[in-house]
Homo-oligomer: A and B are copies of this chain.
């Protein structure tokens, strides 16, 4: 093989010597794995900790799915790749839109770069919303479990996926949606043997069940099983998460919500601000679009100082930052966040207006993410790795660097 390494977004990645599988477990607060091990249902995770590598990393804030999946596959923060939410206010058109379109992506993915250099690639996501971003300019296999039945050779690099996987099309609100991703990954590794595979699940289960409870343990037992199969097929496996997950309730399971747009309207007048919740996506049954991060556009600049002071005095917030402060601290694209960024404390979420959040679908106490409190995520490999420099702040988006450059080949 002539190509020894490639360079993407200022980082170098060595060519894989065996299949490399990167797994992003959506919403994987580390405690899920720990408690599944304690319950005795996750022997492979336990083995990874004992014989491989287990580290803690920081994800991107806002601790949401899209910004973090894109950071993982580009190796850089949102300030470089441009995806800073699931949802944002496109100031060019003054419309609130999903950030799923590849036109918003400002950096090449490592996946795309490897595919262009001749590597065999495969990407399987749970929800379809991530597929076009992750697969941007990538040659190879790329499909979602959600629309597995619609995969075509021309569009997805594969067809007849349901037959290949041997499962029916799962519901978008199910544990099976994520199981399908893993089952597909195992079949692809067996039959196609991609050089690099990226598997990304959905956090439907983590939004419902706390670590160590039966519903969560069953989900982690399922993943443990498939990870052991990937391992037995000889892959280097690196597991991380897009973000953690925390309860957002009081002791009786009532959601702790600050309706930020209502507060702004009451105190500064309707229309003075526009609150955007970048957690928003079409799948609101999980979380009612309630997370611990919001951004505020101040329409009435004459009130900007008062609004900032008001927010600084507000209880239950972890951080209130100006655009400049937030883009520096969280490495975000300044042109795609509001004038202010608000992060709530661990047990609290931010809403817009009460009437705009339908919580009737939330049958269980709210669990969600988005804040600094969900920044710590697992970074685990089934191999030993060379040490990182002492002062290196490990990020989830170092996972490709670890898997490709630092695995010790024994």
Chain A interface (Cβ within 8 Å of chain B)? 30-31, 33-35, 37-39, 45-46, 48-50, 54-56, 210-213, 247, 249-254, 256, 315, 345-347, 364-365, 373, 376, 378, 380, 393
Contact = CB atoms under 8 A, between A and B. Distances in A.
A54 B252 contact: yes
Contacts of A249: 30, 34
B378 A34 contact: no
A39 B213 CA distance: 9
Contacts of A210: 31, 35, 210-212
This protein's copies in its complex? 2
A370 to B, nearest CB: 16
Contact of A34 (B31, B56, B253): B253
B34 A365 contact: yes
B365 A346 contact: no
A339 to B, nearest CB: 25
Given A35-B213, A210-B31, A210-B35, A56 B252 contact: no
Nearest to A58: B315
Given A364-B38, A365-B38, A49 B380 contact: no
Contacts of A56: 250-251, 256, 347
B347 A30 contact: yes
A247 B378 CA distance: 14
Contact of A212 (B34, B213, B315, B347): B213
Nearest to A210: B212
A49 B255 CA distance: 13
A114 to B, nearest CB: 27
